[in-house]
Amino acid sequence: MRRALATSAVLLALTGGARAVSDPGEMLPNPVQERRAEALGEQLRCLVCQNESVEQSDADLAKDLRRIIRQRVAAGDTDSQVVGWMVARYGDFIRLNPPFKPMTAVLWGAPVIAVAIGAGAALLARRRPNAPPAPLSEAERQRLAELLER
């Protein structure tokens, strides 16, 4: 058991940490700044691949954005300044973790909305016992008799 856990931990470390920064020349000499830059790149979406982070992607644009992140971090920008710089050019879409605002309310509210619809449907189904069908009216009785005779 313990061995299996250890193996999976190693595997996770190997796959989860996969980064596209293959060129050590891209990295900042200051390890604290480099870690910050990596964390920032993990939060930003690569606009070309759209489901990879800037840090993971091999796209040319992602490489450029990684370089810009590192330039700005080295120049002393705060994390929110770096993210703000990106959002000013590419919009909230570049954030893998979009902020909560009117535009994204439906996105963030989707789980609540889904649960509400489900709960409402369940309540309705429970509250309304199948009413016995209304007895046939005189006209319907006649029509039924006609149909049966045919």
User: Positive or negative CA dihedral for 82, 88, 94, 98?
Assistant: positive
The span from the CA of 144 to the CA of 150, in Å, is: 10
Please report how close the Cβ of residue 11 comes to other proteins at its closest, in angstroms.
33
In the set 5, 18, 23, 60, which binds other proteins (CB under 8 A)?
60
CA atoms within 13 A on the CB side of 102: 0
Residues 98-127 that bind other proteins (CB under 8 A): none
Is 96 an interacting residue with respect to other proteins (CB under 8 A)? no
Please report how close the Cβ of residue 91 comes to other proteins at its closest, in angstroms.
5
CA torsion 69-70-71-72 (nearest 10°) is: 50
In the set 11, 39, 64, 136, which binds other proteins (CB under 8 A)?
64
Binding site for other proteins (CB under 8 A): 47-48, 50, 60-61, 64-65, 68, 87-91, 93, 139
